[in-house]
Amino acid sequence: MSLLFSPISLGPLQLENRIAIAPMCQYSADEGLATDWHMIHLGHLALSGAAILFLEATAVTPEGRISARDLGLWSDDHAAALAPVLKAIRRHSPIKLAIQLGHAGRKASSAVPWEGGANIAPGDGGWQTVAPSALPHAAGESAPHELDAAGMGRILDGFVDCARRSHALGFDAIELHSAHGYLLHQFLSPLSNVRTDEYGGSLENRMRFPLEVFKAVRAAVPAEMTVGVRISATDWVIGGWDVEQSVIYAQALERAGCHFMHVSSGGVSPLQKIPVGPGYQIEFAERIKRETGMPTIGVGMITEAGQAEAILEQGQADMVALARAMLFDPRWPWHAAAELGAQVQAPPQYWRSQPREYKDLFGATRLGQR
């Protein structure tokens, strides 16, 4: 039996297989509000056969957006705009839904990728960014304001409010974005955090605010709601955040009630040197899986069914998440199931599409489940 198509639990959340769709920013919101693009984009991914779909990084405050086109959830109006998308998915797909909540910190106020992605200064149509320390992400970019206690409290409250809205919307899980050089990662890394108070310096101090945010979110939603964290396991810069610190952070999160770790890397510094290749981040997921009791989700150029199956067979991760590969092939789980001799759920409207040699590929879609 294929491990990729075997069930797994992320805390209280039961999943039918071990394929996740990773969060992918779409830069297509209107003042943070979901648009018809989200209905189309998320709707077609929801029919993929994957077990869980993570929505894109969703800002908890207006200044926490990466770009002015980022999705947000900082008001009830934002929840109302997203609700029809979730309701449509629930009507037609059994896929579990997770939301990734985040704050971009000093990497906010940027152009969308297809317009270059560069930092936009406040005087040029951008906004003032905030961060643990007043260090710009890259030379020539606007310097962020160093967060004081009041600013940190406001951001923590933003995470809590968005977590409550996420639960009210019916999401199955919340993932806190503590990766890719965004705010929580900025607190963790000594490259971006040079504070001299209780939130800087030692590893214990640098972990303090991310852990406070996690604990506040965990307390804000019912115990039966799964809450996990996405982490950059290394900065890929000498003297920066690394896998040894990541293990200690993961262990602290586990003690605080974290249900899973989604293990990525990089993003905090333009000096990073990443040896990109198939499965290049899996060793970090394997290390965190080995040294904690939490399920780990591995990511990073996982494109082939056999590759994904081998990662699970070798115990390097408990699940795999695909992003770009899923955009390129939105039916990747169907094709993986065919290759591995497994079965995948598909809506009855699509049953006629299965090739004759895979006549038992599709199982009936079961709706109305959480």
Which residues are catalytically annotated? 182
Distance CA 209, CA 199 (A): 7
- Radius of gyration in angstroms for the set of CA atoms belonging to the chain, rounded to a whole number: 20
* Beta bridge mates, 229: 176, 261
Distance CA 152, CA 135 (A): 17
Q: Provide, for the chain, the percentages of residues in helix, strand and coil under a 3-state DSSP scheme, each rounded to the nearest 5.
A: 40, 15, 45
E-strand ranges in the chain read 8-10, 13-15, 19-21, 52-59, 96-102, 130-131, 145-146, 173-178, 226-232, 261-264, 296-298, 319-322, 344-346, 362-364
Length of the chain measured in residues: 370
In the chain, the amino acid numbered 71 is L
| 270: three-class secondary structure by DSSP | coil
Residue with tokens 């900025």: 186
